[in-house]
Amino acid sequence: MTLGPLRENAKRSVMIAGHRTSVSLEAEFWSALQEIARARGQSVQALIGAIDSARGERNLSSAIRVFVLGAFRGASAPSESTLADGAGIGQGVQEPGGGMGEA
């Protein structure tokens, strides 16, 4: 399988819970996030805010990537239920010692 060239991360500033933060994602993830937000009839910023509130200990960029992956794995047209069930945000297998293992 031949993959296209890797693109640089694009850093964008978003307002979450009243404060500005920057998020760095690959262009493909920004595009997918826009597609999901459009399908839900909401702004990308509102969607990122919802992902942020459900992300647990995961950093925001990772939570967004996991959310996008879950949205596209779970349905051909991402729906509100994808966010409602967390789409894997902040989830993992807790090991007895308190560390995170692989699911």
Which residue has tokens 């399908």?
Answer: 39
Residue 41 has pLDDT above 70, yes or no: yes
**Predicted pLDDT at 21:** 92
Of the pLDDT bands very low, low, confident and very high (cuts 50, 70, 90), residue 9 is confident
Side chain identity at residue 59, one-letter code: N
Q: From CA 55, how far away is CA 46, in angstroms rounded?
A: 14
| Class of the domain covering 9-88 | mainly alpha
Closest CA relative to residue 64, chosen from 81, 52, 56: 52
End-to-end Cα spacing for the chain:
26
Q: Are 31 and 72 in contact (CB under 8 A)?
A: no
**Predicted pLDDT at 6:** 53
Mean pLDDT of the chain: 76
Of the pLDDT bands very low, low, confident and very high (cuts 50, 70, 90), residue 78 is very low
Higher pLDDT, 81 or 54: 54
How many CA atoms lie less than 13 Å away from 17 in the CB half-sphere? 6
Domain ranges of the chain: 9-88
